[in-house]
Structure 1
Amino acid sequence: MDNDFSVDLDDIIATIRSHDVVIARFVTVHRRLLFDFRATSSEPPLVCAVDPLPSIEARYRHLRELRPGLGAPPRLVTVFWPRYVASLAGTAAWQAVRDRLITAGHPGAVARAEAALAELIALERDAQREAILGGRAFRTIWSASPSPR
């Protein structure tokens, strides 16, 4: 079950269409989804899962290291997706990502974007499994076995 937080899809789609670098934050996973739509004839757009960083300056440094041929973008924009990662896949926002990658002339980038999204979906499923079964980030409050009274 997804939460009831509203998502302004039109605003997210407009952001995806109008900015070169967009970072999506999620409620259920720690990692982010980085969309870097900048491209050259030899370097396709990049969509990948990235770790959070402590500051915007660190993110700019990371982008310069990740894509040295492109340098730092003029602007970074972050969007927050307050629902399950998997719910992004069937939206017009994800279609806007796909469309932008194809329009850039790099249709192979779509498969890499799908793989990055699948990675985050798998992380989300692992976190859900740990929450149910108990795991390193979760602990049981109530025991399933009866306790002595």
Structure 2
Amino acid sequence: MNYFNASIVGLFTILLTWICTSANEDEPNDLGRSCRMKTDCPEFGYWCNVNRTCQCLGLYIANKEETRCLGGVRQKCMYDDDCIKNAFCENQTMCRCKKKYHQSDGGLSCIKNSASRSIFPVFLIPTLLILLRIT
């Protein structure tokens, strides 16, 4: 009886592990996979083109490996990996540029803020100079 119970537990563990890992795996090649309609492609960021392959939609661009589409700024996402470089998925809803970065190329890239984009309000410089002369 113990051998039987151990076998059942072992099989159950293997089955559960397989289900969990299968559910979390991304399709290795979402971009370019065959489709007949949009519903054959991943949930968001793709469309089924006339050649019947899943392609990046609108403000989504292919990753370096050209295997999946990444959301530009303000595009739908679930995880940080769904967004372009230097962006993150805010509240599992939409891509935003990381701190110290701003959007460029119509939202298709996030570039680092330059030194000229300082936070200090420039209009306060004359007032500051006057105050320094007084003291």
Query: Structure 2 length as normaliser, TM-score?
Result: 0.26
Query: Structure 1 length as normaliser, TM-score?
Result: 0.25
| Higher RCO (CA < 8 A, seq sep 6+) | 1
Higher strand share: 2
Higher helix share: 1
